[in-house]
Amino acid sequence: EANWLKLATNGEGMQAAAQQYEAVNALAHKWDYYMFLNAVNVILKVASVLKMMDFHPDIGMITRTIRKASNDLANYFVVTSIVVTVYAVMAHVFLGDRILAVSTLSKAYTTCMNFMVGEFLDQHEWTRNMNPLAGM
């Protein structure tokens, strides 16, 4: 087995660092999933509170309005999710090998959702992740 970089102990420290990186990366994915579950929990709790407020004539106006607009809201969310998904796939296919923010489909979808709510990447974030050899 070749030791091209002439590393001490045949690169065992590098292998240990790579294992630590993988462990931290797995933990970060678990954290993302945990935060997603927290967001779902908050949405369900807000829906529960709105349902409990339905008995009052004035406060129940919110739930009655949402109930009447539910078909239009569903259509809006379906169309919006289709459009964002198309943009995310295009960003991943065309720019994924050069820009870290769209390097995977989940990152591309998150970036497109951030764009929709007005959170844009600055110029430094776009250019620092570019591969200078990608155009060759």
Who's near 88: CB < 8 A, 6+ residues apart?
A: 102, 105, 108, 109, 111, 112
Structure confidence at residue 136 (pLDDT):
47
Range ranked top by mean pLDDT from 20-24, 122-126, 130-134 = 20-24
Structure confidence at residue 79 (pLDDT):
96
The pTM assigned to this predicted structure is 0.60
Report which DSSP code applies to 97.
Answer: T
Residues 78-103 pLDDT 10s: 999 999 999 999 999 998 888 888 88
Band of pLDDT at residue 107, cut at 50, 70 and 90 = confident
Q: Is a pLDDT exceeding 90 seen at residue 70?
A: yes
Structure confidence at residue 43 (pLDDT):
93
CA distances 11 to 5, 15, 19, 93, Å, are 9, 6, 13, 35
Count of CA atoms in the C-beta half-sphere (13 A) of 58: 0
69-77: average pLDDT:
95
Residues 5-58 pLDDT 10s: 666 677 677 788 888 988 998 898 899 899 999 999 999 999 898 888 888 888
